[in-house]
Structure 1
Amino acid sequence: MIMEQRLTDEERLTLKTGAFGAVFLVSNADPGVVGVIRESIAASGALADASGTVKEALTTGPLPRLPRDSQLEIESVVLPALGRAVRILRDKSPQDVDAYRALVLAAADRVARAHDGVAPTEAAAIDQIRAALAEPA
C-alpha cells in the first residue's frame, strides 16, 4: 500500500508554480488582449478538474509569483518547478504523478486552443512543458 505524505507549504507552492506557470508560459507564447480572457477561462476549467493532493496544492496558499519580463525568464522559473513538482509527488504521493502531468498538459493545451488554434510558439511551449514533466533519468 502506498502511503501519501502531506505536502509542505513550499511543496504546494512548487506544484502551483508549475501548473499555473505552464498556463502562463503558453499564454505568453502568443500574447493578445482578446485571447487572454478566453485562455484564462480555458485554464480555469482545466485546473478545476484537479483532485486529491493536486487539488489541495492548487487551491490552498498564496499564488505563485511569476516573472513577466520575458519568455526566457518565465521558462527559467516554470520548467524547473514542473520537474520539482513531479519529484515531490513521486516521493510523497506517487499515485498523483500521472494526474498532475495530465492536468498540466490539458490546461496548457486548452489555453493554446482557446483563441485561433494552436500557434507554433504555443506548440513549442507545450513541448517544453511535456519535457519538463517527463520522468527524470
Structure 2
Amino acid sequence: MSLTLSNQDRITLRTAAYGAVSLMSAADAAGRPHRAATHGSIALASATGLVGHVLAEWPKGVNLRGKSVAELADLVLPALTAAMSLLKRQAPAEADNFRRTVLVAVEAAARTHQGQPSPTLADMARKITEALDAA
C-alpha cells in the first residue's frame, strides 16, 4: 500500500463503486432492487488490494442521495471516470483492479434474475462500463 490517497480521493472511489451498485439497483426497481444491491455490495466487499482497503472503510462523505435515477447517474458516472483517471495516474495496476471490481459488482447486481438481465439493467451496465472506460 505505498500509494497514499487523500480523503477526497477515497470518497471519489467509494462514490463511484457503491454508486454503480446503487444505479444497478435503481435500474431494477421493478424487479429485485434489494437483491441487486446486496449482491453488488458483497462483490465490492470482496475486493482486494488498495481498492479493497478503500472500499472496506465506512463510506463517510459519500453522497448517493439522488431523487431520481438521473440525479444519481449525474453523481456516479463522473465519479467512475474520475476514479479511473486518478488511479491510472497514480497506480495503473489499481486502476485495473478497480475496473474489474466494479464490473464484477455490476454483473453480480444484474444476475439477481433468472436468465439475461432486463434491457434496463443491461443498458445501465453499458453506461457504467462507458464511464469507466472514458478515463
Given the two structures, how large is their TM-score scaled by the length of structure 2? Answer: 0.89
Query: How far has the Cα of 1:4 moved from its partner?
Result: 4.3
Q: Which amino acid aligns with 2:53?
A: E
Q: Within 1, Cα distance between the matches of 2:106 and 2:87?
A: 20
Asked if residue 52 in structure 1 is aligned to residue 61 in structure 2, the reply is no
Q: Is the 1:4–1:93 Cα contact (8 Å) retained in structure 2?
A: no
The 3-state SS of whatever aligns with 2:32 is: helix
Q: Within 2, Cα distance between the matches of 1:94 and 1:126?
A: 23
Q: What 5-or-longer segments of structure 2 have no aligned partner?
A: none
Identity %: 36
Q: What 5-or-longer segments of structure 1 have no aligned partner?
A: none
Query: How far has the Cα of 1:17 moved from its partner?
Result: 0.3
Relative contact order higher in (CA < 8 Å, ≥ 6 apart): 1
Q: Within 2, Cα distance between the matches of 1:4 and 1:80?
A: 26
- Equivalences, count: 133
Q: Within 2, Cα distance between the matches of 1:42 and 1:110?
A: 5
Given the two structures, how large is their TM-score scaled by the length of structure 1? Answer: 0.87
Query: CA distance change for structure 1 residues 30 and 39 in 2, over 3 Å: closer, same or farther?
Result: closer
Asked if residue 128 in structure 1 is aligned to residue 100 in structure 2, the reply is no
Structure 2 counterparts to residues 54-133 of structure 1, below 5 A:
54-61=51-58, 62=60, 64-116=62-114, 117-133=116-132
Query: How far has the Cα of 1:113 moved from its partner?
Result: 1.3
Asked if residue 15 in structure 1 is aligned to residue 4 in structure 2, the reply is no
